[in-house]
Amino acid sequence: MTSAVSEEPAKKRILVIEDEPDIVRGLRDALEFEGFEVQARGTGTEGLTAAMEWGPDAVLLDLMLPDDNGYRVCETLRQRDETVPIIILTAKAQETDKIRGLDAGADDYVTKPFSVAELIARINAIFRRQARMAHSDETFTIGGWQINARKHMMSRGRTSKRLTFYELEVLKLLRYKSE
């Protein structure tokens, strides 16, 4: 856990599961330029194997793969690894597809044709959120209140209040949602 906050963090690994060569090439170039380590696979089966063997920090997953549908790949991936961020790349803009993807365990999605800059911003946002959850869960500020999660206290100026477990959980949720 502490390695993620060291001064010289290891390169984050991104696995791209996508069968369209042009998209793979574009993603690889942009992600490597951003300092990520990239591997790409063109089928769901190969993608799942790579996810297990290589241990990526995030997965970009196309929904329309030649051998399997991306939802199933997403579900399988999620069963095997509860925490790896999965971002779905979808040509389908319909709301139901997005919801289905999120139901299958994805963290986020982008609709093709997508902006690579936006995709990278989303990946970085996920990594920042993960880092905060892992390392600075103890105190945070919300609505001007200072929350100390370890002590179950919220304070503002001279006022302080003890928080129940559920109050604290709600505040944590609000905190992550407000990003």
Nearest CB to Ca ion, comparing residues 57 and 62:
62
Number of residues that bind Ca ion (CB under 5 A): 3
Residue 97 contacts Ca ion per CB under 5 A: no
61, 27 Cβ separation under 8 angstroms: no
Residue 34 has what DSSP assignment?
Answer: T
Segment contacting Ca ion by CB under 5 A, of 15-23, 52-60, 135-143, 160-168: 15-23
Which is nearer to Ca ion, 72 or 161 (by Cβ)?
72
Residues 115-134 binding Ca ion (CB under 5 A) are none
Distance, CA of 16 to CA of 2 (rounded, Å):
26
Nearer to Ca ion, 19 or 97 (CB): 19
Q: Which residue is nearest to Ca ion (CB)?
A: 64
| Interface residue with Ca ion, options 12, 15, 16, 19 (CB under 5 A) | 19
Q: Which stretch binds Ca ion (CB under 5 A): 2-10, 42-50, 59-67, 108-116?
A: 59-67
Min. distance of Cβ 106 from Ca ion in angstroms?
16
| Closer residue to Ca ion in complex, CB, 18/108 | 18
64 binds Ca ion (CB under 5 A): yes
Would you state the structure tokens that stand for residue 53, as one six-digit string? 């063997």
Of residues 75, 59, 81, the one with CA closest to residue 13? 59
Q: How far is the CB of 75 from Ca ion (least distance, A)?
A: 18
Q: Between 98 and 175, whose beta carbon lies closer to Ca ion? A: 98
**Those residues with Cβ within 8 angstroms of residue 154's Cβ, 6 or more apart along the chain or in another chain:** 145, 146, 147, 148, 160, 161, 163, 171
Decide: 60 and 14 in contact? Cβ < 8 Å: yes
* 62 lies in the binding site for Ca ion (CB under 5 A): yes
Closest CA to 51 of 20, 73, 27: 73
Rounded CA separation 70/97 (Å): 11
Distances (CA, A) of 158 to 55, 118, 138, 149: 47, 42, 20, 18
Q: Per CB under 5 A, does 108 bind Ca ion?
A: no
Binding interface with Ca ion (CB under 5 A): 19, 62, 64
